[in-house]
Structure 1
Amino acid sequence: MRFKTDLKNIRTFSKLTAALNSLEKIAWMRLDDDTVRLTVIPATGSQVWASLSVDLIFENYQLQSNEANNTINLELPLQPLQRALKSASGSHHANLRLTKRDGAPMLSMTIHTTTKDTSSGPGGGLPSRSGGATRHNDDAWAADDSEIFHPESLELQMKRDREKVITQDIPVRVLHPETVETIMQPRVREADVHIQMPPLLQLKAISDRFTKLALTAASSTSSATADKTPKLELQANMHGSLRLRLHTDALDITSTWNDLTHPDLDPNELTMPIEEHPSTLFKQAGPEKWATVRVDGRDWSRVLSVGRLEGRVIGCFADDHALILYVYVPHHVDGGIGSDVVTYYVSSFSP
């Protein structure tokens, strides 16, 4: 079993790891010849499936195992990985390899950074010239080329590039393929509404404000309810509108986005005629027909941290059942722009 690679897109990898780490501390990483898959399934809260092409985050990729497509499955702690990627963010080169330390499997990240040596050190400064120096005949100096010195600037002498190498070990567990096969992405019925979401960090700011207001109102009225996380209501229709609502005994506030777009469905990927698709029926019912999901305020805030990836996000609403967020991460490929997808599954609470 062998895995070794250089890190290509550290910034994107770091942002994704931070978003996943906000939901759960452990992820399952599945590596094969073409794809990197990251799965997070907390005991409670939203679940994530990320499917990334190898060339989004890796280069000089070497993978070998006895499984089909050279598959390797790892249980990966996200916090140490996030710290290592943070250390690598300013590096000019970093690589990752599967190794062992005292018989235990490790992902070892080696980071190469360049620092400026601003101290001259012993004998590092320019030689001073004594006032009592002996004067030599110019012709005698010119006769020996070995005694001709080309002056350097003080800046070049004092600032010298030095390479610093840091190695960080991330403990992992190598998982049996049969164990990983039990981790299944949930099946969801066809969406009633599919809509392009507004910028997630904007939505997060408003959602966090609603949650804070609800907690403040609850703490002032009843200490018994102050510790309960508020439930937020998300609604979308097939006429370009998204609505975020907080409704409690003390508060009823709403924020609405309009003129959002709806991606076209591919009839070849549907299990039914497009005329019979739930989203078509919702659209025909008019702008007052809303699909609704109810989410935990704190969990929803952690989900929205994926907005750091700055990709296009499609929300698929299954009314009173679940919200699926498809986060498309753009990257350059030969001949154009490709995109990888991070999928969030957010189940709806009962009203």
Structure 2
Amino acid sequence: MLPELREAFDTGDNGVGASLTVYFVPFALALLVSGTLGERWGRRRTVQLAYLGYAAASLGCALAPTLPLFLAGRALQGLANAFTTPLLLAGLVDLAEPSRVGRAVGIYASFQATGQSLSPIVGGTATELDWRLAFVGITVVALLLAALPPPGEARPAASAPPWRTLLLPRVGLLGLAAAGSSLGCVGIAFLVALQARDAFGLGPSAAGLVLLCSGLTGLVLGSAWGRVTDVVGSRRAGMAAAVAGGGLVLLMGQAGSLTIFVVVWVGVGAMSSLLSVAVQSLATGLVPANRGGGVSATLAFRFGGLALAPLAWLPLAGSSGLDTAFTGAGLATFVVVVLLFPLGRSVAGPSPGWGGPTRRRPAPTRGP
């Protein structure tokens, strides 16, 4: 879509490239507080208003006559989206049985991977006709989703989740682990694309298919990884994924043939999927009284890591080679093990005051 935007607004690469920056900056910053605000205002109302805001911003992008107005719409899209993802995940976990939280998060992750894999294809198809149709389609989808908000009413002042829960050490540790995973195996698609082009001579379409392999792996394995985290625990699953994923990333720069490169990349995708499911499962149990706040703070670090990854590894790849950049990303993945180790097994259960059914243990049977 970037070439079409460049032509429509008569601007250069920097101008259209800003459409990504102005989306992710407010998105990541708002995630630091959006979950806690949503828990206070009520998940249902917050998500509904966020989808309506996202629809309005998307329609604004579709109708924008100038680049500044288009960028303003993109910024509002990012801000609105920050109030959907953490609250949807928190609501999903509250609906799941405690012993099946990992499976619920895994299914959620599979749908995320599906969207990430299909969105370039759907967007590209719409762009063949008119790039503005892609944003019209997003508007329609957001309006439909606004009719299906998660449960959860506003909490009275006495039961509102406190802000200080976001300052707990375990929140910081998991946030750093999420950032480390994004600097590592989760966020190296741009290095893979460069390696596919420079080392194996693939064109844009072929390189895109290589990248798609990782997304499809997450789609297929998300639910299975959820079951794994339920059985062995989110912390152990995440540590194992970080060890295996870091090792595979180290091999990416050493692959001598395209076949080996793709196979290793599929393995990286599988471990990235498991690590993402484990981290999100841990986030949902991080602060049970402020589940949405714990999830949104963790996601803020995750997307911060994704934003930093190109800044960290592209200069290294340019000065020392792609194999050195892959080595750095692999080592960053290993650091996640150290950060997850102190967290212990995640705790997941219904959040106080969330507005859904309360699970009670059966009363003990009295003898005669």
TM range (shorter): under 0.3
- So what's the TM-score if we normalise by structure 1? 0.24
Would you tell me which structure has more strand in proportion to its own residues? 1
Rg larger for: 1
Asked which structure has the greater RCO (Cα within 8 Å, sep 6+), the reply is 2
